[in-house]
């Protein structure tokens, strides 16, 4: 169905805001994008970002407006994890079947490109213009120099809040009665670090891998950039024995890298410099409901469902919101009530599911990577999945390499976990895990 | 330990704010209480309140400043529930042992009295003065006519946020990183209704009972006032077959009361009048953490932990906060860092526990009161508790008639529930519940 062109405000010029602008322009709506920050194309990056891992859901949304190939040119495919365990050679774990990969993209590079594309599509960007208030029933937007100065008023037909985890638009919705809301911070923070390229511009580590240095309570990851560098992220508790709180001098930082990450010790000067230059950031799971206000205002992306980054799905989930919104616009045409109602009803359980899966990944990484029983279970599952790829699709693949609902992935994953619980109870499982007996029992449990 | 007198602001002149003012005045602090509302002693009540049920924790806090007897004069003891089930005679369930009672108090009457007492104690009240902002590190309070007008600035040594579930003080803390927060509304609303006194000023229903008309998805309760009236509360889903949404005309309201509450049908004119006069209110569980900011700002009562009213513990929990704060002031003297740190660490698990218990009571009332297995279990527990009062103290008694931590009541309640699950699995339990065999099994499970 076609839509009558509307005058639409998008608050936030991040990835979700700019992709939504492109989608809405395709439907011939007038689009203005507000952002309190300056144009990211004119400033240095913040030094607080984690490289993105674009996977199937993200690509599908880009494909919908013909941008998949354009964006692949600024992305690097990673078909495996490279595990850096002290005292072992680096070893590799392929993600999925042949050809399946996640794609590393610099958030800043992608955001600049998306804004270019949105402008080309006819969206108007108003940078350095902070939205202080929103009149929800009258779809008015108020901007200004400060909260107390005189505000400028704009009138729109529709407003989309794409202004992230600390959304101002949601903030306004939150003041209404019966608005459910939660924000939960984890006790681990993160810091962006960099491994620069070799002098000849090549990558210092395998370019097509997602590099992980798992250390139980903390971990380092590295993802490649086009210029030969790696954007690394150090995840570390805020407080405690090994923590941000306890690394305050250069000497302590160097000792920390040397002790726990000896195979990157050649990079120690850079890592230490970045450690003190870049901010330490917190991570939050934010849930809320409703996501829409009448047929007037809707939250999209992190403003509706911020998640911790341990599944690499934050951007993918936000882009999938847009893909689904687009499907609903095609189905319902000008009936924005129906579009918004179906949007929040369909997306909410999926957003909750990926929030849960991401949080569990965090818990697993920080508490279970040293648990031999857990590792045995993972090994057993992997073997079975490889032998019976149609009977046992791992949750990671369902989330990353499929476009089926997140809620389905979570539910099937829980059912698989129940089966594995039974298997792990088998006597002497440590010795027989690789046996015909275990395999038969698994097949039996799967068929009941 | 004694304390150096400080200049303290309390935001909110409700029950918790005024009792805290009295406590702080006893320690010779200067106390100013701000409230955005007018002096409750000069205005009519809101028509949106539920009568309070003061129980042991509340009385203990009042006793601490010598006010137990004063307040008992405006309270009515209720030693039992009066159950109004259609087609049955009204029947009574005693709350506890001889002499154990909860006390019905009108929120408005109590609040007026508490403000009188706080003023007598030397606290200064600034009514009609809304706090728009708080500078947390500098303990400054900003008030004014509107958010955008010029504000007045006040400087204090300490600030207490006693400004309820939608606290402005907490709102400011919430904007900081790593502040955990959740608000969850239930799908049931409530409305205040009144049963007036008889012409001679006596009560129309038994005066010393907490009256309940349980109807599964909804319920009516009534609590006595000193003037012979009852303050009733109708709890009803916002949407659905029988709901606020579906009662929009006088005719519908009268039909509703006649159908579901026939034994108060003489009151139908009053109930119907109130139904349309009084607002429908929402109920929220609000949790957050931390509750304090350095040694400068602390949240007390609903601003730190708002709960649904189905355990009658909201005010009691807030008063207990004050009692514990007072203990910590005596222990730590001028070390406000230690006072605030211990306060939030001790109180948070207990606040979470009473939130959980209150929510469970809501779920039980709305989904389980028609479940025969649930009712059988309750009957069995009751019988056992009466026979072995030292071995089986019901959770309700632990919450209501003791001053042991809420978290302990919840934990013991969960352990009891596990035992009852085992008992309810016994073959033919419906027939043998009253037998020696069941009793022995219960004793056995209790001793393991």
Instruction: Show Cβ contacts of residue A66 under 8 Å, excluding neighbours closer than 6 positions.
Output: none
Whether residue A369 is predicted with pLDDT greater than 70 in this model: the reply is: no
Q: What percent of chain A is predicted at pLDDT more than 70?
A: 100
Helix axes B268-277, B250-260, angle to 10 degrees: 130
C-alpha A361: how far from chain center: 13
Which of A176, A178, A306 should one mutate to test binding to chain B, selecting the residue with the greatest count of B CBs within 10 A? A178
Exposed/middle/buried for B3, CB within 10 Å: 0-12, 13-18, 19+?
middle
Give the burial class of B235: count Cβ atoms within 10 A of its Cβ; 0-12 exposed, 13-18 middle, 19 or more buried: buried
Final residue before a domain boundary, out of B264, B282, B300: B282
Q: Are B358 and B369 in contact (CB under 8 A)?
A: no
CA distance B433 to chain A (A): 34
Kindly report the number of other CB atoms within 10 A of residue B30's CB atom. Answer: 16
Shared domain for B158 and B216, answered yes or no, is: no
A193-221: burial string, b at 16+ Cβ within 10 Å, e else? bbbebeeeeebbbebebbbbbbbebbbbb
Q: pLDDT for B396-413, tens place per residue?
A: 999 999 999 999 999 999
Tokens 């029992």 -> residue: A441
Q: Mean pLDDT in runs of 10 for chain B (448 residues)?
A: 96 98 98 97 88 97 98 97 92 86 96 98 98 97 90 97 96 91 97 96 97 93 96 97 97 96 92 96 97 98 98 98 98 98 98 97 78 88 92 95 97 96 94 94 93
Residues A379, A425: one domain?
yes
Which residue of A147, A148, A183 is in closest CB contact with B180? A183
- CA–CA distance from A419 to each of A42, A96, A376, A390, A433 (Å)? 53, 22, 15, 16, 14
DSSP A280-312: PB--EEEEEE--EETTTEEE-GGGTEE--GGGS
Q: Is residue B51 part of a domain?
A: no
**Residue A45 confidence (pLDDT):** 85
Distance in Å, alpha carbon of A66 to nearest chain B alpha carbon = 38
pLDDT given for residue A35 in this prediction: 98
A271-305 pLDDT, tens digit per residue, is 999 999 999 999 999 999 999 999 999 999 999 99
- Return the residue matching tokens 């990157």: A264
Distances (CA, A) of A81 to A84, A210, A385, B82: 10, 5, 18, 66
- The C-alpha atoms of residue A412 and residue A416 are separated, in whole angstroms, by 6
- Identify the helix (H) or strand (E) that includes residue A213: strand A209-215
Are the C-beta atoms of residues A101 and A77 closer than 8 Å to each other?
yes
**Residue A370 pLDDT greater than 70, yes or no:** no
My answer on whether B209 and B198 are in the same domain is yes
| H/E segment holding residue B238 | none
Q: Which residue of A has its CA nearest to B168?
A: A175
* Distance of alpha carbon A398 from alpha carbon A400, whole angstroms: 6
Could you give the CA distance from residue A3 to residue A15 in angstroms, rounded to a whole number? 24
Q: Which residues of B327-347 are buried (b: 16+ CB within 10 A; e: fewer)?
A: ebbeebeebbeebbbbbbebb
pLDDT for position B123: 98
A241 part of a folded domain: yes
Question: Which of chain B's residues have a Cβ under 8 Å away from the Cβ of A177?
Answer: 185, 282
B179 three-class SS: coil
Mutation pick from A133, A176, A181, A189 vs chain B, by most beta carbons of B within 10 Å, is A181
Q: What is the C-alpha to C-alpha distance for residues B163 and A265, in angstroms, rounded to an integer?
A: 53
CA distance B48 to A368: 50
**CATH number of domain containing B35:** 3.50.50.60
The answer on A150 and A22 residing in a single domain is yes
Do residues A361 and A413 make contact, with C-beta atoms less than 8 angstroms apart? no
Q: Which pLDDT belongs to residue A371?
A: 79
Rg (CA), chain B: 23
Residues of chain B positioned with their CB less than 8 A from the CB of A238:
178
**What would the two tokens of residue B141 be?**
């309070």
Residue A188 pLDDT more than 80? yes
How many structural domains comprise chain A?
A: 3
Regarding whether B162 and B91 lie in a shared domain, the answer is: no
Q: What is the pLDDT of residue B368?
A: 74
What does the longest C-alpha to C-alpha distance in chain B come to? 75
pLDDT at B369: 67
Domain boundary, last residue among A282, A315, A342: A282
CA distance B400 to chain A (A): 29
Q: Is residue B62 part of a domain?
A: no
The answer to whether A181 contacts B179, with C-beta atoms less than 8 Å apart, is no
Residue A97 is predicted with a pLDDT of 80
Task: Tell me, yes or no, whether B153 lies in a domain.
Answer: yes
Report pLDDT for B370. 66
Beta bridge partners of A185: A284
Work out the average pLDDT over A305-317.
97
Asked if the Cβ–Cβ distance from A180 to B183 is below 8 Å, we say yes
Write down the pLDDT at residue B371: 79
Token duo for residue B119: 């003023």
Instruction: Note whether A258 and A384 are same-domain residues.
Output: no
Q: Is the pLDDT of residue A179 over 80?
A: yes
Q: Which residues of B touch A147 (CB under 8 A)?
A: 147
Cα separation of the two ends of chain A: 44
Q: E strands of A35-112, at which residues?
A: 52-54, 76-78, 80-83, 91-94, 102-105
Q: How many residues does chain B have?
A: 448
Bond into A401 cis (ω within 30): no
pLDDT value at residue B226: 96
- Identify whether A117 is part of a domain: yes
**Whether A16 and A148 share a structural domain:** yes
DSSP type of residue B435: S
- Comparing CB atoms, the residue among B148, B177, B181 nearest residue A148 is B148
| End residue of a domain, out of B330, B361, B392 | B361
Contacts of A179 (CB under 8 A, 6+ apart): A173, A288, A289, A290, B183, B185
Can you tell me which residue has the tokens 């012979």?
Answer: B228
CB A408 within 8 A of CB A398: yes
| CA distances, B170 to each of A146, A205, B293, B297 (Å) | 22, 47, 10, 10
pLDDT, tens digit, 9 for 90 and up, residues B216-245:
899 999 999 999 999 999 999 999 999 999
The answer to whether position A2 is within a domain reads no
Residues B33 and B150 in one domain: yes
Report the residue from B178, B181, B238 with minimal CB separation from A282. Answer: B178
Q: Looking at CA atoms only, how far is residue B440 from chain A in angstroms?
A: 33
Residues A191 and A291 grouped into a single domain: no
8 Å CB contact of A238 and B178: yes
Coil, strand or helix: which one is A399?
helix
Shared domain for A42 and A125, answered yes or no, is yes
Evaluate whether residue B67 is within a structural domain: no
Assess whether A335 and A245 both reside in one domain.
no
Vertex A87 angle, CA A85 and A91, to 5°:
45
pTM exceeds cut of 0.90: yes
Q: Are residues B196 and B273 in the same domain?
A: yes
Angstroms from A188 CA to nearest CA on chain B: 10
Inside any domain, residue A60 = no
Contacts of B435 (CB under 8 A, 6+ apart): none
Render pLDDT for A118-136 as a digit per residue (tens, 0 to 9).
Answer: 999 999 999 999 999 999 9
- What CATH code is carried by the domain that includes residue A239? 3.30.9.30
Token pair 């010790």 is at which residue?
A: A265
Domain span including residue A214: 74-104+187-282
Distances (CA, A) of B174 to A166, A172, B293, B446: 11, 14, 11, 44
Rounded to whole angstroms, the Cα distance separating A312 from A101 reads 13
Q: What is the mean pLDDT of chain A?
A: 95
């Amino acid at each position: 169905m076609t839509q009558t062109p509307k005058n639409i405000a998008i608050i936030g010029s991040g990835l979700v805001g700019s992709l939504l602008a492109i989608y809405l322009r395709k439907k011939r709506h007038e689009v203005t994008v507000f952002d309190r920050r300056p144009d990211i194309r004119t400033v240095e990056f913040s030094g607080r970002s984690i490289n993105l891992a674009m996977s199937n859901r993200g690509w599908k949304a880009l494909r919908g407006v013909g941008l998949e190939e354009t964006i692949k040119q600024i992305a690097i495919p990673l078909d495996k994890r490279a595990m850096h365990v002290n005292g072992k050679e680096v070893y590799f774990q392929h993600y999925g079947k042949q050809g399946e990969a996640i794609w590393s993209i610099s958030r800043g590079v992608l955001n600049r490109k998306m804004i270019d594309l949105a402008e080309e599509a006819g969206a108007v960007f108003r940078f350095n213009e902070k939205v202080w208030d929103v009149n929800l029933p009258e779809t008015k937007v108020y901007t200004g120099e400060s909260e107390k100065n005189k505000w400028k008023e704009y009138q729109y037909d529709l407003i989309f809040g794409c202004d992230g985890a600390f959304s101002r638009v949601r903030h306004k919705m939150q003041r209404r009665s019966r608005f459910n809301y939660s924000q939960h911070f984890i006790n681990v923070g993160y810091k962006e670090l960099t491994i620069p390229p070799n002098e000849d511009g090549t990558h210092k580590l395998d370019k097509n891998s997602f590099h992980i240095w798992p250390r139980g309570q903390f971990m380092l990851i590295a993802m490649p950039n086009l210029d030969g560098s790696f954007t690394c992220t150090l995840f570390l508790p805020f407080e405690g024995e090994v923590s941000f709180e306890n690394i305050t001098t250069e000497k302590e930082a160097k000792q920390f890298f040397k002790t726990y990450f000896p195979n990157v010790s050649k990079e120690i000067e850079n890592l230490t410099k970045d450690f003190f230059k870049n901010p330490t950031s917190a991570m939050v799971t934010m849930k809320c409901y409703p996501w829409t206000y009448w047929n007037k205002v809707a939250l999209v992306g992190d403003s509706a469902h911020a998640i911790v980054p341990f599944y690499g799905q934050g951007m993918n989930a936000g882009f999938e919101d847009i893909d689904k919104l687009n499907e609903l616009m095609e189905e319902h045409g000008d009936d924005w009530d129906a579009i918004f109602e179906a949007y929040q009803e369909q997306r909410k359980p999926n957003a909750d599911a990926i929030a849960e899966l991401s949080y569990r990944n965090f818990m697993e990484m920080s508490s279970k990577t040293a648990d031999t029983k857990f590792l045995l279970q993972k090994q057993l599952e992997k073997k079975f999945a490889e032998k019976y790829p149609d009977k046992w699709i791992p949750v990671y693949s369902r989330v990353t390499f499929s476009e089926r609902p997140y809620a389905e992935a979570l539910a099937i994953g829980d059912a698989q976990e129940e089966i594995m619980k039974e298997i792990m109870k088998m006597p002497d499982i440590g010795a027989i895990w690789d046996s015909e007996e275990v395999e038969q029992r698994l097949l039996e449990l799967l068929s009941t």
